Structure 1
Amino acid sequence: MMKYTKIIATMGPASAAPDMIEQLIGSGVNVFRLNFSHGTHEDHARNIVNIRKIAEKLSRPIAIMGDLQGPKIRVSKFVNNQAELANGDTIILDTAFKELGDKNLVGVDYENLAKDVKAGDMLLLDDGKITFRVNKVDGTKISCRVEQGGILKNNKGINKMGGGLTAPALTDKDLEDIKFIATQDVDYVAVSFPKDEKDIQFARQKLVEAGSRAQIIAKMERTEAVFQHLNAIVSASDGVMVARGDLAVEIGEALVPGLQKKIIKVCREYHKISIVATQMLESMIENPVATRAEVSDIANAVLDGTDAVMLSAETASGKYPLQAVETMARVCEEAEKMADDNLHGNFGNEKFANIQQTISMAALFSAYHLEADAIIALTTSGATARWMSRVITDVPIYAITDSHEAFQSMSMFRGVFPVFLKHKAKDSNGHVDEACDFLARQHILQSGDTVIATYGEMVSQIGSTNSLKVVKI
């Protein structure tokens, strides 16, 4: 399958069986997401083992991303597990209340909420389905008027319109999950609700201290993150997820499409990964066919240049996980045919940061003008392939590596097809020949094809890419 945009599938009861994992990979999944808001460490460890075994069996590069829960602020539990709230009702949120609540009073699991809100603020519950207006704050009690009522169930989330909640991005649970992740073969860690680049830097520090080399994906979910600290967060992270659920609740749904385009653009400018997530095929949780609006949503993300599109409940708990992946793969492939690969327009005025990036861009320009059939990037860390993947092109990039870590992590890069190959030759020219021979034996390259190869004269040394070669197969 020649699909350049990568698909992330969330693990859950609908997708955890080994035979389903194998089918999902065969249908186009490149990355599996482990949602640490659900499941135990034992569940996640079992899923990781199964994913790795099946990926090895299929000889497919698959990345694994652990998604930390973060400071999800929630109401506590109710008598009868829910409360029916009518417009105009008064309800008190009390951060000190530990009993079962009712329609008049319920606890909140975030003790600083009363310090973070004031009269007039709007609180949005259950992803904005229910809204409260704060009347007054008295100690730990927040008196609210129900603006939009409904049935509020146990443990539903609370957001503040416009942002401003001071909860740290990493909770005690997240820190324990990081320690667990460090013991597992996980390629990426998604950090929920970062406010600024300091949250990302702190998360990286904790990962390093725990012994993990996982890359960090910053989830854009807070108002201050997208409007005040976007560039700094993108710079500090390895990639960004446009987490449209909580983001829409905080800033309003009308602003999300424009911000999605902006975030993807900034990621490409900073040479970082971008992921678009949330409700991409929401209807397929219950139905085997996508809506036309969902198809357009996926296609627009692809045309904007995102690296990956993500499925959440569609594969975790939906009725049609396999059909959802198949649909997403088809839409990605068709949208990619319409993508703009104007290299000169995108990078004509850019100053390249180093030799590695210069060689990467030279390979893209050479492939474009020579109408090459493929690019081969010999890489140890995956950095060369990442540089290349920042430019939208219809030339496939085969990233040849002998590093399992790079082989897996490059599965997230748009347009990059990782290949694991142990070299026998003693020099870099021999490595290029081995790579070309291997791809020819796999019928990926054909006699007469033109290939642009990049490599480093210092064999297997990270950051040494300094050479470009045009090869005729």
Structure 2
Amino acid sequence: MKTSMTSRLANMQQQLAELIEQMDGARTNLSGSLPGKHQSLTNFLQYLCVRDVDLRPLQDDLQAVGLSSLGRSELAIHGSMKASHAWLLKFTDNDFDPLNAIESVDDELKQGKALLDDHTEKLLGPKRGDRRPRIMVTIPSDAHQDQELITQLMDGGMELARINCGHGSIEDQFKTALEVKHLARKKDLDIKVMCDLSGPKIRTRSLGQGPGVFKLKTTKDAYGHVLTPARVHLVSYPLVNHSEPCLPVCGQLSSLNDGDVLHFRDLRGRKRRAVVEVFEDHRFIKSYRNAYLGNVTRLHRGHDLVLAVSHLEPWEIQHRIHQGELFSLCLSMNDYHGEHFCIEANFEAFWDTLAVGDPVVFDDGRLATVVHDKDEISGFVVLKVLRAPSKGFVMKGDRGINFPDQSPQLAALTADDQETIDLLHGVADIFAFSFIKHAQDVRELRQFLNSRQLDQSKGVVLKIETKQAINHLPSIIIEGLKLDQLGIMIARGDLAVEVGFSRLSELQEEILTLARAAHVPVIWATQVLESLAKSGLPSRGDVSDVSRGERADCIMLNQGDFILDALQMTHDVCCRMAGHQRQNTTLMRELAIVKDRHLDSYQHGSERLNWT
């Protein structure tokens, strides 16, 4: 038994010695000046060396003799392995003193943690209270009209506000960012604003707009008896963010008296009546039957026309698609002559390589289709629905589209993104870049920011959401380290569609670990506590997801009617989990990610990194 253990110890010593030798060879001479990043880059390259092999048997052996399994060593991989190697030498040589190696790893771990904390605070701002991860909340682009919401989010613990630049007008986005900064100063808070750029996102175009419709809706019991009538406030102009339903009308509003009966035909041609109620100077109508009103609806008192519905906002036309159906996706509706329902999209870059049998996915995977046919002349493909919600999928404009098997060369920084940066850089602290694929994308982003003299003053978050970004993640991180303030977002919506939902769990762990090895803060994003934010009731899976996200440096919440509840629960779960975990132990199998071919020149020193 003693001989067997001696052999195992010697084998572990040899494995660790070989790994340490590989890490020593990965040290890179940096040209130019890179304050604060040399140690991060060195540790990252060394970590990549050890993750290129399967270390799980070695981890088991180290644990068996009471040593660290190295599962939490990404912040200081070299020192951790040297300390384990020193203890193994002590086991076989009583005269060997491991103290120097132990002190060394203690210093490296402290430095690694300090670097991550420093990079996190510089990018994401100071944390509030005892909760470790920051909380970022997506706010509507027109939230400047709702100061109360912004104030409540700040009071609830929000440290960062995210504005999705793919929705709303640039004017609203600017005003909202400005309002966040204004309210934060009044509260003496450092609230960061992150503007999330759209990037080369492929989306459906609008199906058009239908005429405005207002529905008078009663509530009924299970037998169809009316419990409460439809009641609506009559106003002479549309009211924004009003707490009760308002129907804009024109006419003799002030002439209405309490108890007056108004007659009208709704949009379906059905006869309806409503009774006027007067409260102070306000007029209301109530109806015991459902009705649909439009801008053509006229309301009569007796034989006299007294009111006309007006200023109803048009609604976007939608189309419901079910499983097994066929529908078309086209480049231009002007050229479409097919027999199926069709919607237009900006997928020109995918057209040449798109073929029958290729998957096409909509709205973060909610609708899964496959190319059934392709009309090269008219420029459309016929899609067959493989998976859709049981009640059908509502197709409309601005639905995101993914082509998982396609990888066209699209610029990560679009002309619209450049314009957004130029207009919002005065109010934004961070810009998030979408659909990064290669280190070259990051290089171009850095060059653009440098041309605007923003590369040192603005934070940059790289969203990892494509297959290509996963395959080139190490070189993307290395290029990103040249930025003054860098963060990584695990954008799990598009990423799950691109790589498959079954792979998402392992990949989010790998991204988190590799970013930590480079001392880069990570944002855990997409559908966190979505059930609670939208419906008011969390799912068990949502709560578990928050507990996993607590290991990241920031958790991002999307907007919803119950966002304040979601914010409170995120805070509570993170605080509770802080007493149970400080990064989970990682099993160190070999990672396909680290086989990025673009790393060879960095690791073997054949190319010097130019940081200027």
Partner of 1:217: 461
> 1:13 deviation in Å?
6.8
Is 1:130 the counterpart of 2:258 in the alignment? no
Distance 1:320 1:271, change over 3 A: same
Quote the Cα distance in structure 1 between the aligned partners of 2:437 and 2:583.
34
- Choose from 144, 156, 162 the match for 1:27: 156
- Choose from 541, 547, 556 the match for 1:310: 556
Unpaired segments of 5 or more residues in structure 2?
1-128, 211-316, 481-485, 589-612
Confirm or deny: 8 A CA contact 2:141 2:167 kept in the other structure.
no
Confirm or deny: 8 A CA contact 1:83 1:103 kept in the other structure.
no
Unpaired segments of 5 or more residues in structure 1?
347-473
> 1:194 deviation in Å?
0.9
Partner of 1:58: 187
Distance 1:13 1:52, change over 3 A: closer
- Choose from 400, 420, 442 the match for 1:200: 442
Confirm or deny: 8 A CA contact 2:141 2:176 kept in the other structure.
no
Q: Within 5 Å, give how 1:2-151 maps onto structure 2.
A: 2-12=130-140, 16=144, 17-78=146-207, 81-98=317-334, 103-137=340-374, 138-139=376-377, 140-148=379-387, 150-151=392-393
Partner of 1:178: 421
Quote the Cα distance in structure 2 between the aligned partners of 1:273 and 1:246.
20
RMSD of Structure 2 on Structure 1 (CA): 2.7
- Choose from 469, 472, 475 the match for 1:232: 475
Quote the Cα distance in structure 2 between the aligned partners of 1:102 and 1:76.
19
The 3-state SS of whatever aligns with 2:346 is coil
Kindly provide the amino acid, as one letter, of the partner of residue 573 in structure 2.
V
Q: Deviations for 1:179-229, whole angstroms, at most 9, x for unmatched residues?
A: 1123x1322110011111211221222222233231211111111111x11
Q: Deviations for 1:226-271, whole angstroms, at most 9, x for unmatched residues?
A: 1x11112222331110111111111111111111111111110011
The 3-state SS of whatever aligns with 2:352 is helix
Confirm or deny: 8 A CA contact 2:353 2:406 kept in the other structure.
no
Q: Within 5 Å, give how 1:264-275 maps onto structure 2.
A: 264-275=512-523
The number of residue pairs the alignment matches comes to 337
Confirm or deny: 8 A CA contact 2:364 2:494 kept in the other structure.
yes
Partner of 2:275: none
Confirm or deny: 8 A CA contact 1:216 1:239 kept in the other structure.
yes
Confirm or deny: 8 A CA contact 2:436 2:469 kept in the other structure.
yes
- Choose from 340, 345, 358 the match for 2:582: 340
Q: Deviations for 1:351-394, whole angstroms, at most 9, x for unmatched residues?
A: xxxxxxxxxxxxxxxxxxxxxxxxxxxxxxxxxxxxxxxxxxxx
Q: Within 5 Å, give how 1:163-174 maps onto structure 2.
A: 163-174=406-417
Partner of 2:524: 276
- Choose from 273, 277, 291 the match for 2:539: 291
Q: Deviations for 1:268-326, whole angstroms, at most 9, x for unmatched residues?
A: 00111100111111112333343332121111121xx311000112xxxx212222211
Kindly provide the amino acid, as one letter, of the partner of residue 230 in structure 1.
L
| Larger RCO (alpha carbons 8 Å, 6+ apart) | 2
Larger Rg: 2
Confirm or deny: 8 A CA contact 1:163 1:250 kept in the other structure.
no
TM-score (norm 2): 0.51
Confirm or deny: 8 A CA contact 1:95 1:113 kept in the other structure.
no
Quote the Cα distance in structure 1 between the aligned partners of 2:444 and 2:492.
24
Confirm or deny: 8 A CA contact 1:6 1:308 kept in the other structure.
yes
Quote the Cα distance in structure 2 between the aligned partners of 1:217 and 1:233.
12
Kindly provide the amino acid, as one letter, of the partner of residue 236 in structure 1.
E
Quote the Cα distance in structure 2 between the aligned partners of 1:15 and 1:291.
27
Identity %: 29
Confirm or deny: 8 A CA contact 1:14 1:321 kept in the other structure.
no
Quote the Cα distance in structure 2 between the aligned partners of 1:53 and 1:102.
54
Kindly provide the amino acid, as one letter, of the partner of residue 108 in structure 1.
A
Kindly provide the amino acid, as one letter, of the partner of residue 191 in structure 2.
I
